[in-house]
Amino acid sequence: MATTHHSTKDLNDVSTHGIGPGCRRGRWWKVRVPTSPRCVHHADLDYDLTTGARFQPIEIILSMLIKFAVIAALGPPVVAVILFEVILNAMAMFNHANIALPGPVDRVLRWFVVTPDMHRVHHSIEDDETNSNFGFNLSWWDRLLGTYRAQPRAGQQGMTIGIRQHREPQRVDRLDGMLLLPFVGQVTDYAINRRQWADAPGTPEATAASQKGTVSGANEQGNAGA
């Protein structure tokens, strides 16, 4: 029963990401509503133990409702629910820790559980890397669902943590800013299944950045000539 509950929680975590780590908003009956409370967790500019405890109240409520539904459906004993919560929170602290396990140890462990190096990839600023390694308990779901990624392109030391459009410390590190984060920003086209590197040559993002750089360079040359 405990194993089933753990597996259900990992699937719950994947489904929670369906609202997207990028801060975007939607409309419901012409009223603008937050659709990404998950962004509070992902907007952390550093990756450490405290990241595992950064969750917007809306997301906590949604997660609790899902867990209540699972408990009602499966009817696990109270001790199993308590044990699950203890192990779950311990694992969340572990795989969000700013540590690096020895290579051989990490390679063996990540066949069974999510290690810090494995889950850190999911907190990358790059969309295709964010859309990988969703689980933070059992590692086999990402392997089974095709979302497993061994390492980020820039390496563990070179990768950038956070969300591209939210880099201001006063917004992402202060309590008031974090509470309001899902309600600010423009509506974007963030897609949870985006698996393409946004900055890769030929993509719209890379083309736009290149054109912007060309225009900026031309303006600088014009100013210099003047």
Give the pLDDT of residue 107. 95
CA distance 99 to 156: 11
- Residue 32 is predicted with a pLDDT of 42
What pLDDT does 157 receive? 93
Residue 45, pLDDT > 60, answer: yes
Q: Residue 11's closest CA among 61, 82, 69? A: 69
For residue 149, the model assigns a pLDDT of: 95
* Mean pLDDT over the full length of the chain: 77
Yes or no: say if 123 and 39 are a contact pair by the CB < 8 Å rule. Answer: no
pLDDT attached to residue 207: 54
3-state DSSP assignment of residue 27: strand
Residue type, 38: R
In terms of Cβ atoms closer than 10 Å to its own Cβ (0-12, 13-18, 19+), residue 149 is middle
Q: What is the pTM of this model?
A: 0.72
Using the predicted structure, report yes or no on whether residue 38 has a pLDDT greater than 90.
Answer: no
Burial category of 153 from C-beta neighbours within 10 Å (exposed 0-12, middle 13-18, buried 19 and up): middle
Q: Which two tokens stand for residue 99?
A: 């540590």
Give me the pLDDT at residue 127, please.
87
Looking at residue 132, what is its pLDDT?
93
Residue 33 has pLDDT above 80, yes or no: no
Q: 45-49, 119-123, 208-212 — which is least confidently predicted?
A: 208-212
Contact call for residues 182 and 171 (beta carbons, < 8 A): no
CA-to-CA distance for 154 and 152, rounded, in angstroms?
6
DSSP state of 17: G
pLDDT digits (tens, 9 = 90+) for 52-93: 989 888 888 988 999 999 999 999 999 999 999 999 899 999
- How far from 85 is each of 41, 80, 81, 216, CA to CA, in Å? 19, 9, 6, 53
The confidence score (pLDDT) of residue 152 equals: 95
pLDDT 10s digits, 161-200: 998 888 899 888 898 888 888 877 655 554 555 556 666 5
Q: Identify the band that residue 24 occupies on the pLDDT scale cut at 50, 70 and 90.
A: very low
How far apart, in Å, are the Cα atoms of 21 and each of 37, 43, 103, 188?
8, 8, 29, 12
Go through 6-30 and write b for each residue having 16 or more CB atoms within 10 A of its CB, e for each that does not: bebbbbbbbebbebbbbbbbeeeee
pLDDT band at 3 (very low <50, low <70, confident <90, very high): very low
Residues 132 and 147: beta-carbon distance below 8 Å: yes
Task: Identify the pLDDT of residue 20.
Answer: 47
What local confidence, expressed as pLDDT, does residue 180 receive?
A: 85
Band (pLDDT 50/70/90 cuts) for residue 211 is low
